[in-house]
Structure formats: C-alpha cells, structure tokens
Structure 1
C-alpha cells in the first residue's frame, strides 16, 4: 500500500514556491544539496518545518500553534521585544535606586548621618516614610502624565 500524500497548493503558495525555487536556482551556493525540482524543494521545506514543530512541542507540549508559528517566523521581533522588556526592567531598577539614593540623601541631611542608607526601609512596604515619599512621587508622575496627555490631545499630537 502506498502511503504517499498528494498535496494541492493554492495559487499564493504556488507563486511563493516558484519565487523561492527561482531564487535558489540563481543562488545555488545558498542551498545545501541538489535542488532538482520544485517538488523536492516543497518536501524539504515541509520536512524542516514539521521537524521544527515537533521539537517545539516536545519542549513544551501545551504551547499553541499560533505561538509556535510566531516564534518560528518572527524570532527577531520576539528577541527585540524581550530585549526591550529586559531593558525596561533594568531602567526601572535604576530609577528605584535613584529614588532610594534621594531618600537617603534627605535622611542624611536631616540627621547628619553619613551611613543613613543602613536605616532605609523598602518603598514598597506601607506605613513607612519611604513608602509615603514613593507614593507621593508616583502620584505626581501620574498627574504630569495626565496633563501631558490632555495637552497633546488638545493639540492633536500623538504621544508616541
């Protein structure tokens, strides 16, 4: 019994296969192996894509196909997004360090204590001076952002 499967490509896929095949015929150094026909090219592409999917699902069997497709086809965009998120987190850490230093400076001036940083409390624990200062600064930043948004909206400007 023959288990071979005959596939019919739609017009768009046929056009893309033709384009890729012509490109690879003009640039054979970019292709490993012998490119004998469009059918061989399609078989190679299907084999590679299916192997990549199987590997991804072996690594994480609960991931959706749409996420796999995005990961395989748009890897550079995801890498850039991940890098931007990491940069944003590091910037927030630096901002928090600056806020702590400002609070420390304020305490050092009030107490004439050179090692007042040893007495700093977390900005994120409620009920202490550092948390009150952090909350007030956050409110001021939020108010400024709202004013800027309203001003730019009235002037017809986009924020980004």
Structure 2
C-alpha cells in the first residue's frame, strides 16, 4: 500500500464525521464497539486493608468474512485484479461478531504506619481474575484458518509490591 494511501486512510478514520472509505473493501467499519461498561470502587475491609475491584466488559467487534483476489502477473492473466492483490468482503461488516470481553481485576493493599508520618503499603494486584481467554483478534480471511484466534487476552497474573509514603 502506498504511503499516501495509508496516510489518507488514517486521516479519514479519525475525521470529525467518522470514516469515509475510498472503497467498500477497506474494512474500516470494524473500528468501533457497540457498548462498553466499566465499574470500579474502593472499600476499606478493616485492619488497614483496602480492596479495589475493577470490572470491565465490552461487546465483541463486528466483522465479516473476506477473501483475497490475486493481482495479475505475467503468468496469471484471468480472474485477477489489474491493480494488485485486493481483499474483498464476502459478507458485510456486522454479519458476525467476536465474543464479548469480560475482565475482573483486584488490588488488595495493607497500610502499615511507621516513623512519625510514614506509611508502608504492601499490595497484591490480580489481573484477569476470571482467567478469561477471549480471542481479541481473529482471522477474517476465508480458508482453513477462518475465525482462528491470533491474539488472546493474557492469563491471570498476580503482582506483589511494596510502596512507601512519607
């Protein structure tokens, strides 16, 4: 793809009135989610322990199957595209939808006072507490790898830390 085409697409995708694709096969309609919900808060559990859950969920991205049309060459002269290999939508965007994404994160922190005004904070962060393995990127191209996940949400991760406030 020529640099000026990439620049033009980037500008149109971030324009004030939305995207204006130059061809219906650019697949630019997949950039926006239909809904998203975030809920978080902090609660004091007593004994200087603070718990902070964060719940995030969003709808899966809409998508449609596409296939590639080979460009013409010296050996291929029929059933080909005369302006290079092109990706053509076989189904309109929104025909299919990826799985919804659901994440739950936690932080548990204990504050321990020391000296005259200092505090020592011991904390544990738990990311992806539900251990969700939703595919966030999948292959849309027709063929054997259609709808195979290419990127999935990372596994459950715990992080331990210490912080000092004075």
Which bracket does the TM-score occupy, shorter chain normalised? Answer: under 0.3
Structure richer in helix, relative to its length = 1
Higher relative contact order (CA 8 A, sep 6+): 2
| Bigger radius of gyration | 1
Q: Which has the higher strand share?
A: 2
